[in-house]
Amino acid sequence: MMTKQTLRHIKKEATEQSLAIAAFELALEHGLDGFVVEDIVQKVGYSRRTFANYFTCKEEAVAMGATAVHNTTEFENLLTQIPPNTSLLDVLYQLIQMQLTADLIGRLRELLLLSKKYPVLEPHFLGVLHQMQTTAQETLLDLSNGNDDEVYTYLLINAVYGIILPLIDGRLNVLLPGQKKNDHPSTKAVAFDEFLETMFGYLRKGF
């Protein structure tokens, strides 16, 4: 049976995500200058005071909306199915595959384009990338349960998550999930799955 504290946490998380997703959708539809906080709260039926309990500004909400996960149950179930003796590198590989879905990458690219058009959004864009990395660190350290060296753990995570920005901003010749070769400016672009295999191949060999 769920405790009141757990139910309260779930409700708070749902409220935060609803506001964030609404803000992100409004930014895509109208641009960052085309709406105000009042539009966000009206869209989801909350008050400005509720918004202020979660966010300091609309830019922060927009950025969080790009990475908001509607349903974390599947992700959590997948984590529990990872065999206990799986190496830390293979666990991280599975985490990346679970996290970097076509949908999330698409939203991150939309957020990146918005941040280029509206520079005030850029620190919040970088903030959500950092939050993704921090969440992965916490998850991996928890799954490691002290069996792996922390320096090695942080080195792996930073190596992998440090490549997300050049991946989504197009500096790497990689076809993102859902992209076709005709959509990419380079004829040498490799498939996303091939890119992951190459990256983790370097990590397995120690560069």
CB of 91 closer than 8 Å to CB of 143: yes
pLDDT beyond 70 at 200: yes
Question: Higher-confidence residue: 149 or 15?
Answer: 15
pLDDT given for residue 2 in this prediction:
43
| Percent of the chain at pLDDT exceeding 70 | 88
Domains annotated for the chain, with CATH where assigned, are 1-68 (1.10.10), 69-207 (no CATH)
Residue 137: which residues within 8 A CB-CB, separation 6 or more? 153, 154, 157
β pairing state of 174-175 and 190-191: parallel
Which of 33-42, 115-124, 184-193 is the least confident region?
184-193
169 φ, ψ (degrees, to nearest 5):
-90, 0
List C-alpha distances in Å: 79 to 132, 141, 145, 185: 16, 13, 14, 36
